[in-house]
Amino acid sequence: DAKTTQPNSMESNEEEPVHLPCNHSTISGTDYIHWYRQLPSQGPEYVIHGLTSNVNNRMASLAIAEDRKSSTLILHRATLRDAAVYYCILWDLNSGGSNYKLTFGKGTLLTVNP
């Protein structure tokens, strides 16, 4: 499995933007970049995913480097409810079958200060 590297923790202030980086230098051409987050005492939830182009949804934006070896999850205005562990995960479109599984790394613990 292609690996990702994320900072262990980051801190932000409420209502400020947050940029969460992820390095994936061994990404393959068919790997999608997925982001999940895990709020305290909950199961992970999907945030966003992309392949090559930048993506936006109601939760966040995903900026993907041109060489795809890194990406950044952007929370435009952090709220206290965004405090969570954020996981950057590579998922191979061609894996199929039981390989729809997700391989979680350690993620980034985001603390949001009021």
Using CB under 8 A as the binding rule, whether residue 101 contacts another protein is answered as: yes
Q: Which residue in 28, 30, 56, 103 binds another protein (CB under 8 A)?
A: 103
Candidate residues 49, 68, 72, 111; the one interacting with another protein per rule CB under 8 A: 49
59 binds another protein (CB under 8 A): no
104 touches another protein (CB under 8 A): yes
Among 3, 69, 76, 106, binds another protein (CB under 8 A): 106
Whole-angstrom distance between the N-terminal and C-terminal Cα of the chain?
38
Per-position DSSP letters for 78-101, written without gaps between them: --GGG-EEEEEEEEETTT-GGGG-
Cα–Cα nearest to 112, from 79, 87, 86: 79
